[in-house]
Amino acid sequence: MLEKVLPHAMLKAKPNLESRIRTLKRDWAIVYNMLSGKDNSGFSWDEHRQLVIVEDVVWNSYISMLSCYWQKTYGPLALK
């Protein structure tokens, strides 16, 4: 199907779909852990707007914890 739409792009559908599925699983895991994880105090779900609600203090703490974890696991973050 992808070959019909973009004949000279040399893209393969299966690797692209698998990559997209991995990304969606990772993103879902992040939101799930915010709402149902052991450190979910302060996070809630807005059913009407379909998004996570959190106060700035809790969010900043969460981001700080996440960046510390990232640096220990993967090394320093390269910000552009």
Give the tens place of pLDDT for each residue, 6-22. 666 666 677 777 888 88
Overall domain count for the chain: 2
Residues 33 and 14 in one domain: yes
17 plus 46 within the same structural domain: no
Residues 9, 31, single domain; the answer is: yes
**DSSP codes of every residue in 32-78:** HHHHHSTT-TT-EEETTTTEEE--HHHHHHHHHHHHHHHHHHH----
pLDDT > 70? residue 33: yes
One domain for residues 79 and 65? yes
Give the range of the structural domain holding residue 12, as residue numbers without chain letter.
1-39
Query: Do 59 and 33 belong to one domain?
Result: no
| 5 has pLDDT over 70 | no
